[in-house]
């Protein structure tokens, strides 16, 4: 049975207490299921921001999207996770990744490590968190028996770890690109096909399938898709216009075209949990409403559809 859609918004902009509460209430009003905070220097600190988000709202769950495992000691992270889950009434979803911005590690005085070392640390973090939070002797205790775990990344070793441990498998739709400003470049629809097939190989032995998530980088509701894609062509000279318009992480077009694109991506890849950036929070709201109107009987399940069983 196909999961109902869930939608999250990644809140990036620092704000005063009043502005933060208002922003979170607005996201709830628009219908977002999960309020998320990333883990980058210069952006809000994830855990206090999530506690404030939960206090300002009633329905949405809250989560990290995603924590840079290289910033965290597992024992200290377990304390943060348990405390935040307790203070949010059991609404926390924990997202983890390897981290990819060397400059942030340099600024923090922390080792960046090779790709292998970063994945090794992520694995140790995941396994130690499961051990600590799963122990009845750990203090403080989280509210949930198991805090749902999301792991984000596209490399083989991360996908294997995700298949083994995560309730949510998150795909960035991007690959490492050391020369770019963000360290990432978008992958084509065909490249994402290959990554999804690889993940499914690793996940073949799971007792229950993971929820599949995609981070959408930009949403533009417009009558002219090609004009919306034009600025990207200058930054992606190796891609044709058709390839840019087909990139899974960009949603350009009329409301009807975007709704059709989201449905097509669910059919092609299995994505039922979509995350948008704060800058697209308002633009994506009519898309959510239209998708939910199409599956009204299933949408009533979404608040109880917390990510499924672990592998």
Q: In terms of DSSP bridges, do strands 211-216 and 149-152 run parallel, antiparallel, or are they unpaired?
A: unpaired
Residue 83 pLDDT = 98
Nearest Cα neighbor of 157 from 97, 226, 234, 243 is: 97
**pLDDT > 50? residue 85:** yes
Residue 241: inside a domain: no
Summarised one tens digit per residue, pLDDT across range 154-175 is: 999 999 999 999 999 999 877 7
User: Residue 181 above 90 pLDDT?
Assistant: no
Mean pLDDT computed over every residue of the chain = 93
Helix (H) or strand (E) holding 168: strand 168-171
On the question of pLDDT at 274 being above 60, the answer is: yes
pLDDT per residue over 18-36, tens digit each? 999 999 999 999 999 999 9
Which CATH number goes with the domain that contains 212? 3.20.20.30
Rounded mean pLDDT, 131-144:
98
- pLDDT tier at 304 (50, 70, 90 boundaries)? very low
* Predicted pLDDT at 179: 62
39 in a structural domain: yes
DSSP code of residue 249 = T
Domain that holds residue 19: 6-216+271-304
Q: What are the pLDDT digits (tens) for 47-73?
A: 999 999 999 999 999 999 999 999 999
* Assigned domain for 103 exists: yes
- The percent of residues above 90 in pLDDT, for the chain, comes to 83
Task: Report yes or no on 229 lying in a domain.
Answer: no
pLDDT of residue 296: 77
Q: Phi and psi for 191 in degrees, rounded to 5?
A: -65, -35
**Residue 149 domain-assigned (yes or no):** yes
Asked, for residue 15, whether it belongs to a domain, the answer is yes
Say if 132 falls within a structural domain.
yes
Q: Is 239 helix (H, G, I), strand (E, B) or coil?
A: coil
Write down the pLDDT at residue 8.
98
Residue 24 maps to a domain: yes
How many Cα atoms are found within 13 Å in the side-chain-facing hemisphere of 59? 17
* Residue 305 and residue 4 in contact, taking contact as beta carbons nearer than 8 Å: yes
Q: What pLDDT does residue 235 have?
A: 82
Report the domain count for the chain.
1
pLDDT digits (tens, 9 = 90+) for 184-200: 678 899 999 999 999 99
User: Kindly report the CA angle at 39 between 33 and 45, in degrees rounded to 5?
Assistant: 85
């Amino acid at each position: 049975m196909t999961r109902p859609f869930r939608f999250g918004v990644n809140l990036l902009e620092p704000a005063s207490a009043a502005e933060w509460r208002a922003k979170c209430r607005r996201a709830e009003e628009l219908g977002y299921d999960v309020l998320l905070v990333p883990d980058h220097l210069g952006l809000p600190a994830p855990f206090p921001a999530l506690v404030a988000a939960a206090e300002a709202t009633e329905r949405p769950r809250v989560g990290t999207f995603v924590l840079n495992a290289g910033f965290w000691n597992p024992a200290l992270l377990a304390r943060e996770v348990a405390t935040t889950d307790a203070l949010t009434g059991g609404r926390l979803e924990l997202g983890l990744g390897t981290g990819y911005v060397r400059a942030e590690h340099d600024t923090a005085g922390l080792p960046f490590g090779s790709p292998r070392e970063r994945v090794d640390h992520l694995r140790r973090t995941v396994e130690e968190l499961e051990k600590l939070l799963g122990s009845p002797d750990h203090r403080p205790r989280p509210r949930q028996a198991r805090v749902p775990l999301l792991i984000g990344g596209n490399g083989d070793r991360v996908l294997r770890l995700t298949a083994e441990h995560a309730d949510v498998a998150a795909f960035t739709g991007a690959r490492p690109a050391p020369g770019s400003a963000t360290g990432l470049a978008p992958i084509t629809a065909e490249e994402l096909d290959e990554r999804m097939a690889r993940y499914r190989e690793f996940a073949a032995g799971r007792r229950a399938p993971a929820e599949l998530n995609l981070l959408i980088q930009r949403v533009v509701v417009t009558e002219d898709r090609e004009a919306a894609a034009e600025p990207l062509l200058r930054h992606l000279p190796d891609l044709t216009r058709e390839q840019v318009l087909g990139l899974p992480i960009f949603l350009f077009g009329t409301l009807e075209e975007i709704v059709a694109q989201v449905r097509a991506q669910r059919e092609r890849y299995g994505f039922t949990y979509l995350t948008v950036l704060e800058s697209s929070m308002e633009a994506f709201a009519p898309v959510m409403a239209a998708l939910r109107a199409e599956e009204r009987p299933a949408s009533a399940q979404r608040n109880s559809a917390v990510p499924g069983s672990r592998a």
